[in-house]
Amino acid sequence: MWLLMAVLSAFFAGVTSILAKCGIRKTDSDIATALRTVVVLLFSWIMVFIVGSFRDLPAISPRSMLFLVLSGLATGASWIFYFKALSLGDVNKVVPIDKSSTVLTVLLAILLFHETSHLAVKLTGTGLLAAGIYLMTGQRTAKMPSDSSSRSNRWLLCAILSAVFASLTSILAKVGISDVESNLGTAVRTSVVLVMSWLLVFVKGRQTQLKNLLSGDFFKGEFLFICLSGFATGASWLCYYYAIQNGPVSVVVPIDKLSILVTILFSRIVFHETLSKRATAGLLLMVAGTLAMAL
């Protein structure tokens, strides 16, 4: 069951990137992140009440709560940097760098959780992933205009920071949900992300831009895509944290990162972004590395 959930997590995560890109063409990425988190929070707590795990909230141990909060903070940081990178750069460049979190996560899982079964295969798969990421991040797309050096460095730095915090999210979450129902753990973490993302909006003074976003038809334009990306994220999270709770981190995380296939497919359809031969070779290496670890 955890394997199926990991695959579903990958699908919804892939759709999330495309919907989010559609929602931040003109909208500030910090505001988009905060609004998406509201949707994810509602989605996750509804699931908590559906499965009845809200009764377990008072029983969460201080240790589990600490790691859930830390995981939520890491998630919030990862989101903020990821969607800033998406707003500045090409989807087909940003996503592969974000997926490089897989390499760090697998290595940390081996070191911290002693997930050493089939170690040679995991290390080989990790090497293929790293090589594929390197090839993909060097691509140029036919439709993307050349960026200035400053702008290029900004999206690259944001994408790298997103990957680092995404890796920490998985490791901290694995500890935090070891004795917590996965839906409840997701809801607690999302509550932390909500507070963090809205604090950032108000600290930067971006709340005044909400009026422009919500003006006119409430459910048209970028606001709709932001909400839809929130629903996709919520579905991805629920599947992902069920999988990570019941399966090995070093296998679940690579499967989840196959979302890049969904993202690239839709980026071709929606944004007409194309892959170079080098990038295509990199994508195949990433898929090969992922399948090696998963199977």
Average pLDDT, stretch 151-159?
80
Predicted pLDDT at 142: 41
pLDDT value at residue 78? 92
pLDDT at 100: 81
Residues 103 and 208: their CA atoms lie apart, in Å, by 39
pLDDT of residue 56: 92
Mean pLDDT within 96-108:
84
Note the residue count of the chain: 295
Contact call for residues 260 and 99 (beta carbons, < 8 A)? yes
Q: What pLDDT, on a 0 to 100 scale, did the predictor assign at position 81?
A: 92
CB 31 within 8 A of CB 272: no
pLDDT number for residue 70: 95
Cβ-count burial of 155 within 10 angstroms (0-12 exposed, 13-18 middle, 19+ buried)? Answer: buried
pLDDT at 135: 86
Per residue in 40-68, pLDDT (tens digit) is 999 899 989 988 999 999 999 999 999 99
3-state percent helix, strand, coil for the chain, nearest multiple of 5: 80, 0, 20
With beta carbons less than 8 A apart as the criterion, state whether 236 and 16 touch: yes
Residue range 169-188, pLDDT digits in tens: 989 988 888 789 888 998 99
Higher pLDDT, 69 or 217: 69
d(CA 269, CA 265): 7
107 burial (CB, 10 Å; 0-12 / 13-18 / 19+) is middle
CA distance 173 to 88: 29
**What is the tens place of the pLDDT at every residue in 194-249?**
999 999 999 988 888 777 666 655 445 788 888 899 999 889 988 988 898 888 88
Helices (H), 137-221: 149-176, 182-203, 210-214
